């Protein structure tokens, strides 16, 4: 297996520290609002990675944190006039619901920042003792960026270049504009915890350093996150962690690609900001998941009406091939599994893996008259799809998942009205009903057993 390492900017043969067992940490949500599509992109990407590592025989400890104290959380709780723990618990429940609907498996551990305050303060104390941190006149504790010689390596940035472009407030308490906060002194009325430097709360970056090393050890195999976290968040994590422990922090760094909406950055100011739950009100969760899986995890994804239509059509090809075929385990050419595995072992290349699955679709359709062969091919298609978190439903359930706005009862009434028209030999009315349903994405299928329907992408 080869994985692209952001730190070295190349694919590397993956070799866990503890052979056969993988330790992976992924930066999770800051829970002040509902998850948006960018979060879904990251969650699904690392869900696929998790599934494949386990399918490949690795024991995996997957840790994904929750940031439950942060400036944004404090502001939102104040604006809502609610305690921060009430806000964060509500958003965590909503996050878990969104994950389940997208087929994202839960992590093995989900540490929260507020449960690791002692670990955070202990790490900050070590950094101060070693000369990597200092308390400023305003009570905040900062990290000395220039003290860490390898700062900027993850993002190939030179600290001198960063310093020349930095903007510094006149009253700023930092020794250097590049220094970042580890501990924020308390502001009256805000949530705070006791520390050797007075009441306060942790900075964002130090939270992940403390939680990851507490859960996985000073050095672990994989650290991942969204595309916007490589700098400064992950750069700062490396500096903090390695300065505190004296050991290499992470062997392989992985970052999911960005998500754009109609080829623009998602932004509330542009009016193209979508939460996961808003999207799932209008679109089948598996269609959204397929869109996120169909691109390589490091590639940018464009979310737009046409891309969703394409995703639904692709899933319809799979489910239409499976419809009417009884999946049974049997003899199938090993080449399908071999090429699927080769693709996934090449830095989790889902587009190539899906191409193998489409070949299986063609073979199922070619062998539909052979129940045994078609059934064995269908079984293999479902097995491979499940490895990506796809094809976990019955064909009928997906194909009748109407996006038309009509409920099942109304569609059944329309079908009965059409059947009555046909019995009365009023074929013009029967055709009118059929065409009206087709306009709304409902395609009727007549057979000797009766009339069934599927929902077609529009």
Q: Residues at the annotated binding site for ATP?
A: 268
**What does the DSSP 8-state code read for residue 256?**
P
- DSSP per-residue letters across 390-408: ---S-HHHHHT---SS--H
Closest CA to 184 of 125, 141, 137, 237: 141
CA-to-CA dists, residue 278 to 77, 107, 194, angstroms: 22, 24, 40
**Euclidean distance between CA atoms 209 and 120, whole angstroms:** 8
**What does the DSSP 8-state code read for residue 106?**
P
> Which residue ranges make up the annotated binding site?
27, 208, 233, 237, 268
Closest CA to 46 of 338, 340, 251, 298: 298
Residue 415 · residue 444 · CB < 8 Å: yes
Q: At what angle do helices 71-80 and 84-101 cross, to 10 degrees?
A: 110
**What does the DSSP 8-state code read for residue 30?**
B
Residue 56 · residue 280 · CB < 8 Å: no
Indicate the Cα dihedral angle 255, 261, 262, 264, nearest 10°: -70
The count of C-alpha atoms lying within 13 angstroms of the C-alpha of 262, restricted to the half-sphere facing its C-beta, is 7
Buried-state track 153-169, b at ≥16 Cβ within 10 A, e below 16: ebeeeeeeebeeeeeee
* 415 Cβ contact list (under 8 Å, min separation 6): 444, 451, 453
Indicate the Cα dihedral angle 310, 316, 319, 320, nearest 10°: -140
CA-to-CA dists, residue 293 to 191, 209, 253, angstroms: 39, 29, 20
Cα 416 from chain centroid (whole Å): 43
**Euclidean distance between CA atoms 53 and 203, whole angstroms:** 32
- Strands 442-447, 259-261: parallel, antiparallel or unpaired by DSSP? unpaired
Closest CA to 69 of 109, 104, 25, 120: 120
> Which residue ranges make up the annotated binding site for Zn(2+)?
27, 208, 233, 237
Placement of tokens 């008259």 in the chain: 369
Closest CA to 395 of 383, 406, 382: 382
The count of residues in the chain is 458
């Amino acid at each position: 297996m080869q994985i692209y390492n952001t730190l070295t900017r190349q694919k590397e043969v993956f070799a866990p520290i503890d052979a056969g067992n993988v330790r992976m940490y992924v930066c999770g949500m800051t829970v002040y609002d509902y998850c948006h599509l960018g979060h879904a992109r990251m969650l699904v990407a690392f869900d696929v990675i998790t599934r494949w590592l386990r399918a490949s025989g690795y024991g995996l400890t997957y840790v994904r944190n929750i940031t439950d104290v942060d400036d944004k959380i404090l502001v939102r709780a104040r604006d809502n006039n609610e305690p921060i723990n009430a806000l964060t618990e509500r958003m965590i429940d909503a996050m878990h619901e969104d994950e389940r609907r997208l087929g994202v498996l839960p992590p093995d551990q989900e540490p929260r920042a507020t449960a690791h305050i002692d670990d955070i303060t202990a790490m900050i104390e070590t950094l101060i003792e070693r000369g990597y941190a200092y308390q400023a006149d305003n009570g905040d504790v900062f990290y000395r960026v220039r003290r860490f010689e390898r700062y900027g390596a993850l993002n190939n940035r030179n600290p001198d270049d960063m310093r020349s472009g930095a903007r510094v407030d006149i009253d700023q308490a930092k020794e250097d504009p590049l220094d970042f906060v580890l501990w924020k002194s308390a502001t009256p009325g805000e949530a705070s915890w006791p520390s050797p430097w007075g009441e306060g709360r942790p900075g964002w970056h130090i939270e992940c350093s403390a939680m990851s090393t507490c859960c996985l050890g000073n050095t672990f195999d994989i650290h991942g996150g969204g595309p916007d976290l490589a700098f400064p968040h992950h750069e700062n994590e490396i500096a903090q962690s390695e300065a505190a422990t004296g050991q290499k922090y992470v062997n392989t760094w992985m970052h999911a690609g960005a998500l754009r909406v109609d080829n623009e950055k998602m932004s509330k100011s542009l009016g193209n900001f979508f939460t996961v739950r808003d999207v799932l009100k209008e679109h089948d969760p598996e269609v959204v998941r397929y869109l996120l899986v169909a691109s390589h995890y490091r590639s940018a994804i464009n979310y737009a009406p046409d891309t969703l239509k394409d995703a639904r059509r692709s899933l319809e090809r799979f489910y239409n091939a499976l419809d009417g075929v009884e999946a049974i385990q049997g003899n199938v050419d090993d080449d399908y599994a071999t090429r699927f595995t080769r693709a996934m072992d090449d830095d989790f290349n889902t587009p190539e893996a899906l191409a193998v699955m489409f070949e299986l679709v063609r073979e199922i359709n070619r062998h539909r008259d052979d129940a045994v062969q078609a059934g064995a091919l269908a079984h293999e298609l479902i097995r491979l799809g499940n490895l990506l978190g796809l094809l976990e439903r019955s064909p009928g359930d997906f194909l009748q998942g109407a996006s038309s706005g009509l409920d099942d009862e109304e569609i059944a009434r329309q079908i009965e009205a059409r059947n009555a028209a046909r019995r009365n030999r009023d074929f013009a009315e029967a055709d009118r009903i059929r065409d009206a349903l087709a306009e709304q994405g409902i395609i009727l299928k007549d057979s000797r057993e009766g009339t069934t329907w599927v929902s077609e992408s529009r």
